[in-house]
Structure formats: C-alpha cells, structure tokens
A and B are shown apart, each in its own frame.
Chain A
Amino acid sequence: MADAASPSPGDSPRSPLDGSRGLSRRALLGGAAAVAGAAAVAGGAGFAAGRETAGLPASATYPFFGAHQSGIVTPQQDRLHFAAFDITTDSRDRVIALLRRWTEAASRLMTGSDLGSGAAGGSYAAPPDDTGEALGLPASGLTITFGFGPGLFDERFGLEDLRPAQLIDLPGFAGDTLDERFTGGDLCIQACADDPQVAVHAIRNLSRIAFGDAAIRWAQLGFGRTSSTTRAQDTPRNFMGFKDGTANVRAEDSDLIDRWVWADAADGQAWMAGGSYMVARRIRILAEIWDRTSLGEQEATVGRTKGTGAPLSGGAEFTEPDFGRLGSDGQPLIRPTSHVALAHPSAHGGARMLRRGYNFTDGADALGRLDAGLFFLAFVRDPREQFVPVQNALSSSDVMTIDYLRTTGSALFAVPAGVPAGSTLGDGGAFVGEALFAS
C-alpha cells in the first residue's frame, strides 16, 4: 500500500499508473507490440507485489519537483547507485547546459519514463536515447539527488565567491586510509530505488548525457539501507550485525529537520536556502576480525545489545541511553568509549544528522577478504558542527572505528534546493542549482 510508507508532506508516493506526471515505461510502451509483450510478462501485479521491499510498494513514485530535492527525507529506499563526477569542461555555459539536461532527465526517470525517444522507439539508424534496461520496470521509488562538490567553486566557473563556508574541505581524520579512487568530486548524483536495476539505469543514462562535460570519478553501489528516515520503517542492520541509525532524525521530526538538515539563506549563501550538505564516506568493515570478537565485546564496543538494539543501560531499542547509569564496578554500563556514547547528540551539543547510508560489498580484496562495509551518507545543515566533531570523536576514541573500521572514501557536497513545482524544463528552463548560477 502506498500510504504504508508514511511519506512526509510534499513527498507522497504515487502510482506510476496515475500517469499525472508523465507516462510510466509500461504505459509508454503499450503500443509497441514486440516490446509490450516482454514488458507485460514482467509487469503484472504479482511481479510488482513480489518486489515489495521493507513495506514499500515497488510502484512508489516520488515527485521530482518541490522545495527540497527528493532522496533526503524520502522514506529510504533499499538500493543505491551513487556517482561522483569530475567536470571536464571549463565552460560555465556548458555546466549550466549539463544541469538542464540532468534536471529534465531526472524528472522523467523518477516517473518511470524512459528518456528522449525511448529505448526502442527512435531512429533505426541511431543509437536509442534510453539504454533500455529499465523497460517494463516501474519507477520503483526512484529518487535522484544532485550535489555540488568544492571543485565546482574553483576558478573555472566564476563561482568562487559563492562557495558556502559549510562546504569545507574535510579535515584529515585520525586513522583514515583514504583511497583516491573513492574521494572527492565536482558533482554527484545519488540515485536511490527499490530495484537496483532502476538505480543503475538512472546513473548510467545521466552519465551518458554528461560525456564531454563531466565524467564519473568514482561510484558506489549500495544495498540494504542502514537507516530509517521515517517512523514507519524498521531499523535495519549494518554489516556488523547491529541495528544502525536508531537515533536517526526522521522525516516526521519536522522541527529537527528544519534545525539540522535544511540550509537557510541566513546561513551565508542565499542560493543554498532549502538545500543541505551531503557527507559521503566509504567505510570498510574489517569483517573477519569483527566476526572473531566475542558477543560481549561487540556489545560493549557498540553500547547496545545485538539482539534488540537496546542501550546497555537498559530498556528497549528506542529507550534513551543513560550514560550515567553505573554497574557494580562503578563504571558506566555504557562505556564512554562505546560507539553510542561518542556519537550521541548529547556529546555534541545536541547536533543531529539525517543518516541515509547503505551496506555495500565490492566483492573481495586481493587477500580474499570481504570488501564490504557501510557507505555512510548523511545530510546536515552544517558539516562543521554536525559531522566533523562527531567524526573527530569517533576517530580518536571509538574502539569500533579504530579497531574494526577503515574509511577508504570521503567526499562532501552541497545539495541545492529542489526545482519548484510548475517549473518549465528544457532549453532555457529551470534546473537544479539555478539559484547558484543566477547569484
């Protein structure tokens, strides 16, 4: 059921068959007999039901237009394809043109439509406009979120003075083992969906229409969301086997979202009003070593029980941790060096993050060890207040971070506001980040 997702206002799931904003791929192809046959096989009601993930219908469709970009407070989907891009042109006009193309394409992809003249409907003499692997698949809750890295604000495009103070070059954190292959980027796209093929289709096609102006610098596939962004979603587990993101800010916490997620014109750069900042960290888990760690040590390291996720000070999953509750040895039941103690908002002046991370595995490393972990994604209003202090605390004192995690990738992006409803797209039309280039 679409309403089971408890979407936030202005972010309501919509069946692609509503057809109110563009056609679904299925509807679009209804007349093309050969392809329609294949689509019909894959497009039955049973198929859609079979792909339900975490209580969300596979047919969820989220609106592209709105005050904020989608993919932030949207109920977190189960799959991710994230890509960071280098801008390969020095032309400001070409960057603007790219953002226009991306904006229009994203608005279509999110409705479940294919691009241009489609995957099978264009000129016989030309390659199809759409790559085609999502033919017959519903929108699958696809959201596409664009971000701007520090490189967009270098000398090439005349935007130096518009770089937000919040868009810092992240400092070196103790123990980081960053791999340049997973670091930085001038632009980024976060594509989330409940079907991995739909998310990959989005990145593939968006990178295709960027050739010449931007090229993928690095990318990450994720699966198994590691956060809940709405109250209706269960808290999922990360690769350490623990519930992750219990204390996450949820879409329903609108005061917290306004305070800690959405940028305001008064924050410094007016063009960022309604936007946010996305922290991306590729955190590898030393799985083999963690797996050899006793249950007691695992729980002490996290500060929560493995089974229910209750804090070790007692209660159930959502009971607030009591860091002052002492055990028989006079020490706190939740160790001060546990992950929950060091990351808790109470240790950071109440600072919160909207986490939206994913599990990932890229197979095995050269030694046959699982190359897997958490692709940490978080949206914050000011990384200097909300991410850097927390990460510093974890990097210097958190037994979990020091002993069992290796951060191999890192990037920060400014995520501009959404494209207002009613905007005209295309040549001369609205685009994501328009306010920046108009400033």
Chain B
Amino acid sequence: MSRPALSTSARAAAVTLAAVLPLAACVPNAPAGSESIAVDSSDTACEVATTSVPSGNVVFDVTNSGGDVTEFYLLAEDGLRIIAEVENVGPGLTRQLVAQLAPGEYVTACKPGMVGDGIQAAFTVTDSGVELATGDRAEQLDAAAEAYVLYVRSQVESLVEKTDAFLAAYTASNDDEARALYADARVHWERIEPVAESFGDLDPSMDAREADLAEGEEWTGWHRMEKNLWPPAEGYAVTSEERAALAERLAADTAELASRVNAEDFSIDAFQIGNGAKELLDEVASGKITGEEEAWSHTDLWDFQANVDGAAVAFGVLRDVVNETDPELVTELDERFADLNGLLEQYGSVDDGFVLYTDLTDEQIVELSRAVDALGEPLSRLTAAAVL
C-alpha cells in the first residue's frame, strides 16, 4: 500500500481538468504558435474574444469573472452535443481548454452557476487546410476501458485462487509452502494495484506495510504475514489463532475485492487507465526499487515485474488511440518497456521466480532505477495523449 490514489487524486484531477472524454476531439498541449482565445465568463455574460478561428488546435483561456462556479462548453451547431468542455472553474480562476476542431459551425456557452442552457453564441471554424485525426475516439476509448476491465477481473480471479492456496498453507503452518506461494500470489494484486487501492477501505486492510501505520493501529494483511513467515531474528511471534484470524480477514477482503470488480456497474475510464499506468511506475520508483515493499521476504522483484506488467497492459489498451495523437510517444514507450523488461529478465521471471532484492548489487539497483525513470517520464504523458 501507500497510494490510495486512483479514487482520490486521479478522479479529482479528472474533474478538475474536465475535458470530457467521449466527444471531445482534444489534444494534449497547446501547440506552439496557436493563439489562445480569451473567454470571460461573468454572472451575466459570456464574452469570447473572437467568433471565428481557423481549423486545427484551438485553445480557450476561460476566466471566471463572476461570483459563482462556471463551466464553458463548445457545442455542435445544434447547441446540444458537447464537443469539448471545461468544468468547475471557481470565481477568479482561469482554466485552459484545448480542442481539435474541424471546419464548421459551433456554439460557445458559458454556464455560470452550472445550471440551465448557458449563455450561448455562434462560433465559426474556417478551413485552414490542416489535416485532423479522424478515428472515432469515443468508441476507441470505450473499447479500451472494456478491455482493461476484463484484465482487472482476470487478475482478481487469479488472485483469489492463489490467495486461497497461500492461506491454506499459512494456516496449516506449512511455512515452506506458504513462503513459496507468497510472491506469486501477490503478482496479481500488484498488476492492478491502483485499482485495488482505489477501494480505500480494502487497501490498508490488505496491503499495509508496518511503517504505514500510526501508533496503535491494527496491522493486518499480506505484509503482516510476510513478517511472520520471514521473521526478524527474535522477538516476533504470531500464534496460530492470530494466523487464523489474519487469514480469514485476507480471504474475506479478497472476496470483497472480487465482488466489487465483478459488479455490473464497475467501470474504469480511460483517464484512470492512463493514470493507473503512471501510478504503477510510481509504485516501482517509490517502493520496489528501494526494497521497502517486501522488507522481510525481499521478493520485491516479483512486485516490480507485476507493476511493469500492469502498466504495459494499460498502455496496450490505449495504444491505438495514442498512436493517432502522438505516435512518437508510442515508439518511445515501446522502447522503454523493452529496455526495462530486458533488464528484469536477467533476474528471473514471474513463472520461474526472481532473485531476491538483497542479492542485487548497488550497481544493478541503480541500473534498474534509471530504466524505471526512463520509462516513467514518457509514461506520465500517456493520459494526456489518450484523453485530452
């Protein structure tokens, strides 16, 4: 654990940035040279600095000069269909909206107080001759989200099976067997860690490290059992009753996780997938590369590989979309994933097992860390390339 992230930070960001996913043909960054269009949204007026622009990337700087929260929409000619929007602009604040616009007639609308149809005006995009990406982005992103949900469900299914086997050995005090099963079961948790962590109540119960706890907090979950199975030299004991209770709780938490991801209304949007990929690499950079995650078993490389696997799958489902908006990023990510996986291969595999973290030399750890940073940096641009 360490990051109750997806549920809080990622969703907050999604709302704050608020470029709506489905219909907006947006682009990641304001390209150099494109002038931004000032929009002044007051309580009673919606002043757009110009009513006509050439097609291509269009940047709006939306300033809320009113007293209430406002929104700015770019609508289709019918004044109903949303092309792009920026929400939740507090009084006095300015937010940028970037959209890729084809020639045609549009409608701009400010919605002070976030109610009603908004203050609308006509807006024209003339033909600049710039070619725009076509594909139906909304459909692509929906397909990506569906594919990712299936991946999450399959990993949780494996997690349930392997956790059961591990807990059976643990409660029967077959410690050698439990130790052999520990890292392999956790791989399925680590692959989907940001999703698992988005359930803020389950993560601390299942995956807290000792250092994550405040004084007096009860310690349960995988890492408590880890310390029990690879105990410090002396002074650490867990009774069989405690073992049974820990096992029962982890089994119940895992079942709860499975029931939530298999619920009909469980969904993940493309924003969360992209951010989840970045967060998986953050996990590697903050916990695994330092050997903090598996402080007793030293099986950090299993988690490391699993985090990278999960990030690669997230990238994979968004690949087609990003290939249209930023093909160079796809190329770079392919190379960086290959580099990092190539390094990890030297130390084993999920199927055959890895060397222990403590067997790595300082130089090898530095080499891995550099490869993680080399991947993490471009991976942090994935979300914007996919959804904005």
Contacts and interface: CB of A to CB of B under 8 A. Distances in A.
A296 interface: yes
B377 A314 contact: no
A294 B9 CA distance: 10
Contacts, number: 137
A177 B3 CA distance: 15
Contacts of A378: none
Contacts of A366: 362, 365-366
B377 A292 contact: yes
A395 interface: yes
A300 B90 contact: no
A174 B212 contact: yes
Interface string A386-401: 0000001001100100
Contacts of B147: none
Interface stretch (B325-333, B350-358, B368-376): B368-376
Contact of B8 (A288, A310, A335): A335
Nearest to B85: A328
A414 to B, nearest CB: 22
B343 interface: no
A327 B15 contact: yes
B15 A314 contact: no
Nearest to A337: B8
A188 B213 CA distance: 29
Contact of A402 (B4, B88, B91): B4
A173 interface: yes
Nearest to A331: B15
A340 to B, nearest CB: 12
B215 A297 contact: no
Contact of B88 (A173, A333, A337, A368): A333
A312 B89 CA distance: 8
A315 B214 contact: no
Contacts of A395: 214
Nearest to A319: B92
Given A297-B275, A312-B90, A368 B64 contact: no
Contacts of B13: 294, 296-297, 299-300
A319 B212 CA distance: 34
A299 B311 CA distance: 24
A311 interface: yes
Interface stretch (B44-52, B154-162, B278-286): B278-286
Contacts of A396: 214
A297 B9 contact: yes
B16 interface: yes
Interface in A336-386: 337-338, 366-369
Interface string B282-304: 10011001101000000000000
Interface of B: 2-5, 8-10, 12-17, 64, 69, 71, 87-88, 90-93, 114, 211-215, 217, 275, 278, 281-282, 285-286, 289-290, 292, 362, 365-366, 369-370, 373, 376-377, 379-380, 383-384
20 contacts: A172-B215, A174-B214, A288-B285, A288-B376, A292-B376, A292-B377, A292-B380, A295-B17, A305-B93, A312-B88, A314-B90, A315-B91, A325-B90, A327-B69, A328-B88, A331-B15, A338-B12, A367-B289, A399-B5, A399-B9
Interface of A: 171-177, 286, 288-289, 292-297, 299-301, 305, 310-316, 319, 325-329, 331, 333, 335, 337-338, 366-369, 392, 395-396, 399, 402-403
